[in-house]
Chains A and B, each alone.
Chain A
Amino acid sequence: MPTEPERDIERTSWSLGDLLSPREPIPASLYILLGVSSFGVLLLLWAALTYGGFIDALFLPTPGRVFRAGLDLFLELGFTTDILNSTYRVLVGFLIAAVIGVPLGLLMGTFKAAEALIEPLMGFIRYMPASAFIPLFILWLGIGDVEKIGIIFVGSFFQLVLMVAVVAKNVHKDMLETAYTLGAKRMQVIRKVLLPASLPGILDTLRIIVGWAWTYIVVAELVASSSGIGYMIISAQRMLRTASIIFGILTIGLMGLITDYGFKWLHARLFPWVE
């Protein structure tokens, strides 16, 4: 019989002791409830502080004001275009990084010679902050989309290469050796074992990296920009429209979350065999 991890199914009573036992399972409904309530508590706290008049609206506007600012942004100020512009920059920068970075990372994780050649350089560059490249990139690439995409690329590429290399390196050697004893040649071992074994890990890496790309977009759009979510945030700051700033930040969080879930969904669809 196929073996499944053991799970309590018929359990109905839970005590406080269960919740306080390290790593012990809790009811699924409670798990969801707790997750939702952490958002709820934050929202309540925010509402209490602002509607109660404890904080100046200039520093922290009420949830209602932020919501209305959001409506204004979408209806009057063309925020949809900003979102589309930012999404375009994130995706293009991220895709270029992925298209070059994944093969490079695989090479690095597969061949010691490639590792020796590439790893020291990557390890060095990845510690250079992407935001510090902005002046240089403006000088080289101007102030258009290309410069923004360049920042996203720098922010994601080097990490991606190193992470993909680790994924490829973690493919169990016994598995490669088994393939050899079944008659596979070197290239077949790479194509038929190393590559498929690495795919889930690569997709996971891409998921994490695209999340980072979303955080870099603000930095990229804060300087020398005329559109995008980051640009909206910086212009709202000049006008002291705090509510718009908060709405912009929430939007980026939401975009990151949506991308993250998209990747998780894809992972479950593509790799049903992963344990």
Chain B
Amino acid sequence: MDEPVKLRIHQISKAYRGDGHEVVAVDRIDLKIRNREFATILGPSGCGKSTLLRIVAGLAKPTQGAVQLDGRTISGPGRDRGMVFQSYTLFPWLTVQQNIQFGLELSGMDKAGQERVAREFVEKVGLRGFERAYPKALSGGMKQRVAIARALANNPDVLLLDEPFGALDAQTRALMQELLTQVWEEFHKTILFVTHDVEEAIFLSDRVFVMTARPGRIKAEIDVPLERPRSYELKSSETFLRLKKHALELIREEAIKATQYKDNE
């Protein structure tokens, strides 16, 4: 890969003060995400991976370190870093189309432009016919498709996804992974994805960073040399299974540590 570095996470640490003692959630994490790369942070629950993503989004301040996007240090949230959360964050009083247009309207785009872009992305995530539906009429998977469309329509430099399929059932989740792969292969945005699901991480990513249990550090980096476009059949290929086994072993150690940590609390 000869793409330049897009997102630079520079020696980020984050400590919380809880019950009188300090808890280090994230410990000196250093990452370079390349332009147009699909990078995933894989870690057991409670390892601070979401905290790291929130820091990149500008929604949380690091105790130490800095995040740079295209060489500029970020200081708060902004439209250059779109984010999709695990919880359903659609605005319930807006229709599917209005949700997708939300960021475009803020950017000052004219009405016709907004509608054109919204139509394009409704199509991309396979929701034609639902433009005028309110979120309450949508299933969990459809809601997340709208959330992804809304973030992408805003044309961010980097897309941040915080376990976006975490609340979905296994089948829907698998379909959403394929959809995201397709969309990504078309738009080639730089993506930083966070998950605790090993298979999801390998299926989607170019590179996977495995995090340790608290305090969260980068334990290993796995290159995923699987060809693209990717489809679900890949999940039974030899390379995929080998990578999955490797990642599973790494994450298992951390998951065990994480449970012990919790038991001690």
Contacts and interface: CB of A to CB of B under 8 A. Distances in A.
Contacts of A181: 57-59, 77-79, 81-83, 151, 160
10 contacts: A3-B137, A177-B83, A177-B85, A178-B147, A180-B58, A181-B58, A182-B102, A182-B151, A273-B92, A275-B92
B74 to A, nearest CB: 12
A178 B83 contact: yes
Interface string A111-152: 000000000000000000000000000000000000000000
Interface string B144-163: 00010011001000001000
Contacts of B93: 196-197, 199, 271, 273
B92 A274 contact: yes
Contacts, number: 80
A197 B82 contact: no
- In this complex, the member of A177, A196, A274 whose beta carbon has the largest number of chain B beta carbons within 10 angstroms is A177
Contacts of B133: 2
B216 interface: no
A184 interface: yes
B256 interface: no
A1 B130 CA distance: 9
Interface of B: 57-59, 76-79, 81-83, 85, 87, 89, 91-94, 102-103, 106-107, 130, 133-139, 147, 150-151, 154, 160
Nearest to A179: B102
A80 interface: no
Nearest to B92: A273
B172 to A, nearest CB: 12
Given A181-B160, A188-B106, A192-B106, 20 more contacts: A2-B133, A2-B137, A2-B138, A172-B87, A174-B89, A175-B89, A177-B85, A178-B89, A181-B57, A181-B81, A182-B103, A182-B106, A183-B79, A183-B154, A196-B91, A199-B93, A271-B93, A273-B93, A273-B136, A274-B136
B77 A172 contact: no
Q: What are the 5 closest A-B residue pairs judged by CB atoms, nearest first?
A: A183-B79, A182-B103, A2-B137, A180-B77, A181-B83
Contacts of B137: 2-3
A182 B154 contact: yes
Contacts of A275: 92, 136
A181 B81 CA distance: 6
Interface of B is mostly: loop
A272 interface: yes
Contacts of A273: 92-94, 134-136
Interface string A164-193: 000000001011011111111000100011
A181 B103 CA distance: 9
Contact of B134 (A174, A192, A197, A272): A272
Interface in A189-244: 192-193, 196-197, 199
Contacts of A174: 85, 87, 89
B138 A3 contact: yes
Contacts of B139: 1-3
Nearest to B86: A174
A181 to B, nearest CB: 4
Contacts of B77: 177, 180-181
A203 to B, nearest CB: 13
Contacts of A177: 57, 59, 77, 83, 85, 89
A269 to B, nearest CB: 14
Nearest to B89: A178
Contacts of B94: 273
- In this complex, the member of B59, B94, B160 whose beta carbon has the largest number of chain A beta carbons within 10 angstroms is B59
